[in-house]
Amino acid sequence: MPTGELVGVEQKSTALGPFPESKHEILPGNTADDEDETSPFSVFTPAEKRSIACLASFSAIFSTISSFIYFPAVTALSNSLHVSIGAINLTITSYFIVAGIAPSIMGDMADQSGRRPVSLLAFTLYLGATLGLAAQDSYAALQTLRCLQSAGASGTVAIAYGVISDIAPSAERGSYVGLLLGLANAAPSLGPVLGGVIAEKLSWRWIFWILAITSGLHLLLLFVFLPETARIVVGNGSRSPRSIIYQSLYHRLCRSRYDQNEGRIPEKPPFHLPNPFSSLITLLQRCTFIVILVGSLQSSLFNSIATSLSSQMIHIYSLTYLTAGLSYLPSGLGGAIAAYFTGKLLDRDYRMTSKNHPGPADISIDNVSSFPIEKARLRSIFIFIAINTVATAGYGWALASRTHIAVPLIMLFFTGSSSAATFVACGTLITDLNPNRSSTVQASYNLTRCLMNAAAIAALQPMIDSVGVGWCFTIFAAIGALCVPSLLLLRSRGLAWRLGKVDQQMT
């Protein structure tokens, strides 16, 4: 498979015939599997696509909530297992290390072998590890099982992006990514609150029991309702997969969609040995690299604020651990709202850009190589970065000046909402640039994000001790603003870079 940013790449699947009776939008040259030009991008109905996206997006919640819900239980775990808080903090470090590596394996598997089997595998691993965490009584078991839990949960975000890429064309993709990140961004604020309440009212074990019960129920929903969406397996959804592992129970009962293509049952994808380094290849692409760099840098600013929040609120405003956890709510609320509406905004920006672009108003995957997708997706991002820059510096100086607690909470709402909006724009553009490797490129994004988050968090406390909290976040805000020149360059030159690579590949 080529490594360029172009989306119109050769695929292995056979062509499908037209579906004249379909009510779906007909897009020219719209698949990655050599389908007929009159074929719909996806045969799933709008209601089915929303249901599939909700299932995949809810799966991604477990990746973030499993880390944040754990924080309030650190002291309780330390006392129960008779180890230091520093030792418990090492389980957090190991969780994030695995979270940076595992999606590279899971994402590659999902792109090459299908979304459904990898989703079931991830949640089976997660459920088993979480049950073990609820029952364990030793530090060694805690450390090992947290790594396994992270391995199962962390791949769900990359898989969810892959599912969205399978079912939604570029013109609709912003809304679906907004749904995904809206749910994912709610977890960092809800997690500490839920963890604090559960640890205080019940015990730390019930944190894992509740995660196990919830993930078990979700695994059942995936088994019954989640269809295979990977285009390498089912094309635009009209092909009935041969292997039972790709067929949900709902799929097996509702086969009418496949009646017209009974003779076109695809072969089972060949066995693929996961390559954790394949995701790194995407960083060699200029357009993708810039978007990943910007998204990762903005993520490091967001997580620096989240890391400082609890300790600063306790130190400056003398809050309890539980009320300090509640201070995460403005950021989470702002992030969830902004992610949803930013998805709608991206779809509007796409339509406005397509009106000024010669060619079809609805641009399919195969045509994005000649469409200025960078202009469409980055149309509003500069407003988000400007708000985030001002709010990040404002948060730091509100704490430094010891203003009324409402002031930093308001700043948190704006940092959370503007960060979430930036994440939606970057995540959607990355998927647009790499539709046939969407899970793999998201794994690369995740790895880069984890590394930059770790670097920023490592520098956070030394900077606060050295220059004070006000100047610390002013410096962070200025670093975030440095994204603007690279985004302007990408917006103006991205299409030319990709067209140049097309010419090289054609010659």
pLDDT tens sequence across 175-228 = 888 778 777 777 777 887 888 788 878 888 999 999 999 999 999 999 999 988
Helix, strand, or coil here: 453?
Answer: helix
The answer on pLDDT for 241 being more than 50 is yes
Q: Which of 260, 240, 482, 490 is nearest to 385 (CA)?
A: 482
Closest Cα to residue 130, out of 219, 213, 222, 221? 213
pLDDT at 150: 92
> Residue 40: beta bridge partners?
26
21 falls within a domain: no
**Residue 27 pLDDT greater than 70, yes or no:** no
Structure tokens given for 184: 């994912």
Burial of 220 (0-12, 13-18, 19+ CB in 10 A): exposed
- Give the residue from 134, 129, 115 showing the smallest Cα distance to 59: 115
Helix crossing, 85-113 with 139-167: angle to 10°?
30
CATH of the domain at 81: 1.20.1250.20
d(CA 288, CA 205): 42
Q: What is the pLDDT of residue 212?
A: 96
Q: Is the pLDDT score of 361 beyond 70?
A: no
Q: Write down how long the chain is.
A: 507
In sequence order, the 6+-apart residues with CB closer than 8 A to the CB of 109 are: 118, 272, 274
User: How many Cβ atoms sit within 10 Å of the Cβ of residue 442?
Assistant: 32
Alpha-carbon gap, residue 418 to 209, rounded angstroms: 34
pLDDT at 38: 60
Angle between helical axes of 381-400 and 469-481 (0-180°, round to 10): 170
Picking from 370, 312, 320, 25, the residue whose alpha carbon sits closest to that of residue 168 is 25
Chain position carrying tokens 């509702």: 254
The answer to whether residue 351 sits within a structural domain is yes
For 253-280, the pLDDT digits (tens) are 765 555 444 445 455 555 556 666 666 7
Between CA 430 and CA 437 the distance in angstroms is 10
pLDDT score for 358: 60
Q: Which of 141-145, 341-345, 440-444 has the lowest mean pLDDT?
A: 440-444
Does some domain include residue 266? no
pLDDT tens digits, 116-129:
999 999 999 999 99
The number of folded domains in the chain is 1
The larger pLDDT score, comparing residue 330 to residue 29, is at 330
For residue range 396-426, what is the model confidence (pLDDT) as tens digits?
Answer: 999 999 999 999 999 999 999 999 999 989 9
24 has a pLDDT exceeding 60:
no
Domain with 472 in it: 46-254+276-506
The per-residue pLDDT of the chain, averaged, comes to 80
- Give the per-residue pLDDT at 277: 64
In a domain, 404, yes or no: yes
Percent of residues in the chain assigned helix, strand, coil, to nearest 5: 75, 0, 25
Residue 373 contacts residue 170 (beta carbons within 8 Å): yes
- Most confident among 233-242, 371-380, 469-478 (mean pLDDT): 469-478
**Tens-place pLDDT, residues 363-407:** 444 456 678 888 888 988 999 999 999 999 999 999 999 999 999
Task: Give DSSP secondary structure letters for 73-137.
Answer: GHHHHHHHHT--HHHHHHHHHHHHHHHHHHHHHHHHHHHHH-HHHHHHHHHHHHHHHHHHHHH--
Q: What percent of the chain has pLDDT over 90?
A: 27
Within 10 angstroms of residue 147's Cβ, the number of other Cβ atoms is: 17
What's the pLDDT tens digit per position in 285-333?
A: 888 899 999 999 998 898 888 878 877 887 888 877 677 778 888 988 8
Residue 140 CB burial class (10 angstroms; 0-12, 13-18, ≥19): exposed
Structural domain contains residue 269: no
H-type helices in 318-437, by residue range?
321-326, 329-355, 373-377, 381-400, 406-433
213 inside domain: yes
Helix (H, G, I), strand (E, B) or coil at 209: helix
pLDDT score at 343: 86
Tell me the two tokens of residue 111. 């792109």
Q: Which neighbouring-strand residues pair with 26?
A: 40
* pLDDT confidence of residue 495: 85
Alpha carbons 483 and 385: distance in angstroms, whole number: 8
- Residue 5 belongs to a domain: no
CA dihedral (109, 114, 115, 117) in degrees, to 10, reads: -90
- Provide the pLDDT confidence category of residue 29 given band limits of 50, 70 and 90: very low
With cut-offs at 50, 70 and 90, classify the pLDDT of residue 20. very low
Q: Is residue 41 part of a domain?
A: no
Q: How far is CA 142 from the centre of its chain?
A: 26
The segment with the largest mean pLDDT, out of 85-89, 130-134, 263-267, 304-308, is: 130-134
